[in-house]
Structure 1
């Protein structure tokens, strides 16, 4: 198959040869693509893979072929055959991600204690960075599944590669999703924390989390939050919200002082007042009504409270009752 010279940035004609044979994947099964060669400028021959399917639209290729990312497979060409069968041409890979996981990947992604390795963290971070960069050009993936993820061994290091075949015009990435993508890159990110990430917590779940924090010593909280930037007590124009100010005042009368420059003190106050809600002044309880009201007003005071605290503490093990809601 040939395209006119002006279609490509190279000089001369180019052609694609399809072997109609599928190479072996890393698990010795057939890879979900076909081998072939791509001849450019009459004399440069490149070994390629060819993906086949009616969903591989030329419109998507035209949009995605100009997108560049270190984890996005370069799209070399697109063509159709009889019966509107679309073909997508891309450079060779070593195998599919699913086959790699089935073989060597398990040992590389988790250590002997079942903790995620730096390789897994880096892969997840790379994937989110790819999605983020697509959003910046107002595109979003329409086909992110195991069939579109591959691996390449580069000097002994396994690299995750995504074959972009479908696209949609994107909407703005919401702050929680964006925060999740940044969290994956942090050194304190673990697989356990990822499984319970607070992107979809309801009030009951938030209450359970506050109760779980009862199991942590104040010194442990202070150590975890001593270097947290961009979050603190909800002080506005030098004043706390009225309800929070009343709670702090009651604590002060009972001999518990709080440092408004120490975020861990804020966490400590809220977890204790959630557990001992009935000990709050009547005028405060009249406004909050119940523990659910406290959960909701925490989200108003500090919208990213649950994410910031959870990312540092995870879900502490506790024998205390659940949310108390």
Structure 2
């Protein structure tokens, strides 16, 4: 096989390293399923450094543009395929990009992907922690671009790749067409419309992953809420969404809500129509004990007082009379009651309030 060497039209910033070269091996990079991708394998030489890389070609319908390289060349993020250089071959542009192992589509369809993407129970299935990190990774990639005022033309699942190293799968978004938004070329309303459209694209990628994984019909309701929350809040809020909270995290969240500004929390509860659950003998006995034994009063018309009751019970569970605890020494017993009385309670509260300002996250 013959190799061709191209000198980049750009030079390394470090003058001691000299010129940059790309050796395009004229070999299509094979996907994880053995099928060829549209990327070429290559070697990137910059001074004394030699690394393997890939080359992205344009098409007649979508040629690669120098202006896009200029916008994207300095972006470095763990979830973004780096565009490392640009060169011209017979009048056609080529992007030199960082290495990826294959496409997200092929990974999902592979045996390893199928095993790593679903966690099933006898009731429902939910995306695995790995799959959740894939969705968060794509979201972080878009968030990084938007923070730099870079707006990709679109986000498609075909442009999402994976890097598998040490048993860890990292998602990588390849962007090769984008606009740098400035006050000169776009308005605030247009930028907002573009953001909404791009987050809708990310949701579309997530939905396609769920469909390919066979999760669509039996997905756990909390996970469904997580997917719908994409783009609704900032990426940190998405990463901390309560679909995977353990009981300690739920307890911590209750304490944070009650420890924060009560007016702030009350206003948010009012917006979502949050109320006390229907009375039961169990709940009534707990309230009566709090009033008679500890002289703590609750207003059943105030939803904030319900959270205050729940916080107090969880915090002081073991100090309750044994008959009220129904002989359960773990406050998780009461959390299950809360979740039964108010289905999706953690999702509802989190979407309305998030973590209160200045709260100490678990």
TM-score, normalised to structure 1's length?
0.58
Deviation, 1:169, is 3.7
The structural deviation recorded for 1:74 is: 1.8
The structure with more strand, counted as a fraction of residues: 2
- 1:1-325 pair list within 5 angstroms: 1-3=6-8, 6=11, 8-9=13-14, 11-41=17-47, 43-53=48-58, 54-82=62-90, 84-103=91-110, 104-113=112-121, 114-169=125-180, 171-172=191-192, 190-194=222-226, 226=254, 229=257, 232-234=265-267, 257-259=300-302, 261-262=304-305, 308-309=348-349, 311=351
Give the superposed CA RMSD. Answer: 4.0
The 1-side partners of 2:170 and 2:164 are apart by 6
Q: Distance in 2 between matches of 1:4 and 1:310?
A: 51
Assess if the C-alpha contact under 8 Å between 1:197 and 1:310 holds in 2: no
Rate the CA distance shift 1:196–1:228 in 2: closer, same or farther, 3 A. Answer: farther
- Mark the CA change 1:16 to 1:193 in structure 2 (over 3 Å): closer, same or farther: same
TM-score (norm 2): 0.52
8 Å CA contact 1:32–1:51 kept in 2: the answer is: yes
**Maintained 8 Å contact 1:151/1:161:** yes
- Gapped regions of structure 2 (runs ≥ 5): 1-5, 182-190, 207-219, 233-249, 274-298, 309-344, 353-362
SS in structure 2 at match of 1:33: strand
1:228–1:258 Cα change, 3 Å:
farther
Aligned length: 225
Question: Is the CA contact (8 Å cut-off) linking 1:232 and 1:262 kept in structure 2?
Answer: no
Contact 1:71/1:159, CA 8 A, preserved across alignment: yes
* Displacement after TM superposition at 1:3 (Å): 3.3
Contact 2:12 2:19 in 1 (8 A): no
Cα pair distance change 1:261/1:5, threshold 3 Å: closer
- What is the CA distance between 1:93 and its match in structure 2? 1.5
Classify 1:263/1:33 alpha carbon distance in 2 versus 1 (closer, same or farther; 3 Å): farther
Displacement of 1:87 in angstroms is: 0.8
Q: Describe the SS at the equivalent of 2:41.
A: strand
Q: Which has the higher contact order (CA 8 A, sep 6+)?
A: 1
Q: Which residue of 1 aligns with 2:325?
A: none
Is the CA contact (8 Å cut-off) linking 2:32 and 2:103 kept in structure 1?
Answer: yes
